[in-house]
Amino acid sequence: MNSRPRVPYIAILILKSEVSGSYTPPMFSEDIVLIHACSLDQARAAAESRGRGDETSYANEYGETVTWTFVGVADVQEALYDSLDEDVSLYSRSFDDLTQYKQVFSIESLQYESDS
């Protein structure tokens, strides 16, 4: 049993959205979520599990398959305040250039198959 109390952590998850049969490049989503955990390692594991759980596919109004794929955890930090509700998304924003995102935020740990 872990004697350290659960505290809030903020995690940044990166997901990729692709549309089958589309000639448009993939879009990326940066989701900022609140995770309660007893340690940074536990928070990172929970963030990765949450990201994998957010993967989904569905048909859009044109009959094309939209697929959301988890790319990775960009960052996990302990929250500045501990009086927050559990496990809620704080906000999400989308972008279309993962390479530029990695350069802007100096994040080399994200891997995407077209990065080579």
pLDDT of residue 116: 45
Average pLDDT, integer, range 41-55:
97
Q: Are 98 and 27 in contact (CB under 8 A)?
A: no
Classify burial at 62, counting beta carbons within 10 Å of its beta carbon; exposed 0-12, middle 13-18, buried 19 or more: exposed
| Structure confidence by residue, pLDDT tens digits, 12-44 | 999 999 999 877 889 999 999 999 999 999 999
Return mean pLDDT, the chain: 84
In terms of pLDDT, which residue wins out, 94 or 60?
60
pLDDT category at 99 given cuts 50, 70, 90 is confident
From CA 12, how far away is CA 90, in angstroms rounded? 10
